[in-house]
């Protein structure tokens, strides 16, 4: 049965156009073609990325945070209370009013003291400013290097200027070392993001981030196996073109550089809209949807690849909506917050007096694609 599933999975009609077989993509005459075994290296490379990230955050990002004067806000810790801690860990982090009253009787605290304890306890679990700065620094470094490397890989290729050439000779298109390493490094990085997503800073678009990472991994892997490599390199470079701007804006946000952060965000928003909502659907998607049909009848791989591209495009529209809504409020001078951010609660958030001069307003910048606000010092 396993052999039957294996044979069906690698059936040529799923992966290749009609009248073509895997034998047509065997290495010969010095020409090398993409193979499934090439992807095995991405998992150990992903683990290597996690190791490199650890040392980068420790020896590069942390000193950089100190240089930029990234200061951590002092958080009041919730005093030890076994009754409230047990409820927090087993039943929920935000008790309802009925539950507050019940916990008040069990713990001997007033209802307001119970609410204060839960606010402080939730704040303890929120990531520190330094953690967020280090994460943004790592991603900024990778995306910037990846964008430069990606442009170096494709800028001298004829299909960068004429997208019909993406399909010239498809699928019998040999690969070159620069394409191989570009693919393996990008795929390994996204595997590493998926492996670390549970420990990374979480925002309200956590599910969308998982969908994005999984879709990206599937797209990169499938495009390699089906020899959609020329289109794949264009798509990866296009995405990297705005991501490093986002991460740099977040870094300056955490450092409290308000004007620099806002200016970079404006540039990011422009680049994001142009690349994700104009170039991607009207050039890249047109290239992958229309031009292949001029050469071969549609096959499963054609439908699957473009379906995954459709999922990615829907995520771009979702993030672009948040960016445009933020940009509108930003231009009109209204106070803006990131609806996806996990805001740190102050002692005065429920009408209470701050214990240590709290109550400072926050200015979030979210992961994935941000919404800023006009203040600059607190949590996102």
Quote the tokens at residue 292. Answer: 């292949």
| Per-residue model confidence as pLDDT tens digits over 333-349 | 654 444 444 555 555 44
CA distances from 137 to 183, 239, 253, 256 (A): 22, 18, 12, 15
- Kindly report the pTM of this predicted structure: 0.79
CA distances from 314 to 55, 76, 109, 258, 319 (A): 35, 41, 48, 31, 9
**Residue 154, pLDDT above cutoff 70:** yes
Residue with tokens 């540039």: 267
Sign of CA pseudo-dihedral 371, 246, 367, 122: negative
List all residues 6 or more positions away from 75 whose beta carbon is below 8 Å from its beta carbon.
Answer: 120, 123, 124, 344
**Residue 320, pLDDT above cutoff 50:** yes
Q: What percent of the chain has pLDDT over 70?
A: 86
Supply the DSSP string of 317-349, one letter for each residue.
HHHHHHHHHHHHHHHTT-----TTS-PPPPTTT
**Residue 331, pLDDT above cutoff 90:** no
**d(C-alpha 114, C-alpha 347), whole Å:** 12
Rounding to the nearest 10 degrees, give the CA dihedral for residues 205, 210, 212, 214: -170
In the chain, the N- to C-terminal Cα span, in Å, equals: 51
Please, is 237 exposed, middle or buried when counting C-beta atoms within 10 Å of its C-beta (0-12, 13-18, 19+)?
buried
Q: Do 243 and 206 touch, CB atoms closer than 8 A? A: no
Long-range (24+ apart) CB contacts under 8 A made by 58-63 are 60/137, 60/141, 61/133, 61/134, 61/137, 61/138, 62/130, 62/134
**d(C-alpha 372, C-alpha 214), whole Å:** 27
The more confidently predicted of residues 82 and 221 is: 221
Quote the tokens at residue 280. Answer: 């991607």
**Residue 325, pLDDT above cutoff 90:** no
49-78: average pLDDT: 89
List all residues 6 or more positions away from 208 whose beta carbon is below 8 Å from its beta carbon.
Answer: 315, 318, 319, 368
> Which has the closest alpha carbon to 379: 75, 5, 25, 54?
75
**d(C-alpha 248, C-alpha 264), whole Å:** 8
Highest mean pLDDT among 287-296, 321-330, 350-359: 287-296
Q: Do 379 and 344 touch, CB atoms closer than 8 A? A: yes
| Per-residue model confidence as pLDDT tens digits over 168-220 | 988 889 999 999 999 999 999 999 999 998 888 777 667 888 888 999 999 99
Rounding to the nearest 10 degrees, give the CA dihedral for residues 191, 192, 193, 199: 130
Mean predicted lDDT score pLDDT of the chain: 84
**Residue 242, pLDDT above cutoff 70:** yes
Which domains does the chain possess? Answer: 29-67+127-332 (no CATH), 82-125 (1.10.10.60)
Sign of CA pseudo-dihedral 35, 305, 204, 91: negative
Sign of CA pseudo-dihedral 91, 117, 342, 144: negative
- Of the pLDDT bands very low, low, confident and very high (cuts 50, 70, 90), residue 350 is very low
Neighbours of 109 (CB within 10 A): 19
Q: Do 221 and 39 touch, CB atoms closer than 8 A? A: yes
**Residue 373, pLDDT above cutoff 50:** no
**d(C-alpha 270, C-alpha 278), whole Å:** 11
Quote the tokens at residue 369. Answer: 């694609």
| Per-residue model confidence as pLDDT tens digits over 108-152 | 888 888 888 888 888 777 778 899 999 999 999 999 999 999 999
CA-based radius of gyration for the chain: 25
């Amino acid at each position: 049965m396993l052999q039957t599933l294996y044979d069906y999975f690698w059936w040529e009609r799923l992966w290749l156009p009609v009248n073509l077989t895997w034998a047509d993509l065997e290495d010969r005459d010095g020409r090398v073609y993409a193979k499934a075994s090439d992807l095995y290296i991405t998992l150990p490379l992903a683990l290597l990325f996690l190791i490199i990230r650890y040392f980068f955050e420790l020896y590069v990002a942390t000193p950089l945070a100190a240089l930029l004067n990234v200061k951590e806000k002092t958080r009041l810790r919730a005093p030890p209370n076994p009754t409230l801690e047990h409820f927090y860990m087993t039943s929920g982090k935000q008790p309802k009013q009925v539950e507050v009253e019940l916990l008040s009787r069990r713990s001997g605290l007033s209802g307001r003291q119970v609410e204060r304890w839960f606010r402080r306890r939730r704040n303890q679990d929120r990531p520190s400013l330094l953690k967020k700065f280090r994460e943004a620094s790592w991603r900024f470094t990778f995306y910037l290097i990846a964008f430069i490397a990606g442009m170096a890989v494709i800028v001298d290729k004829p299909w960068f200027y004429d997208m019909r050439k993406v399909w010239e000779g498809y699928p019998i298109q040999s690969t070159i070392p620069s394409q191989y390493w570009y693919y393996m490094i990008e795929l390994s990085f996204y595997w590493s993001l998926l492996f670390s997503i549970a420990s990374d800073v979480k925002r309200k678009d956590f599910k969308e981030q998982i969908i994005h990472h999984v879709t990206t991994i599937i797209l990169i892997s499938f495009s390699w196996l089906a020899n959609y490599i020329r289109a794949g390199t264009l798509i990866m470079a296009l995405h990297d073109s705005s991501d490093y701007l986002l991460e740099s804006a977040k870094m300056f946000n955490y450092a409290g550089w308000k004007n620099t952060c806002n200016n970079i965000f404006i540039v990011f928003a422009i680049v994001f809209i142009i690349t994700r909502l104009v170039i991607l659907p009207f050039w890249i998607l047109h290239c992958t949807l229309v031009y292949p049909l001029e050469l071969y009848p549609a096959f499963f791989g054609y439908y699957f690849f473009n379906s995954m591209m459709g999922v990615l495009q829907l995520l771009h529209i979702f993030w672009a909506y948040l960016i445009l809504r933020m940009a509108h409020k930003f231009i009109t001078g209204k106070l803006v917050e990131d609806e996806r951010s996990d805001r740190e609660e102050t002692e005065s958030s429920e009408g209470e007096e701050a214990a240590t001069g709290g109550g400072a307003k926050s200015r979030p910048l979210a992961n994935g694609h941000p919404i800023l606000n006009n203040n600059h010092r607190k949590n996102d």
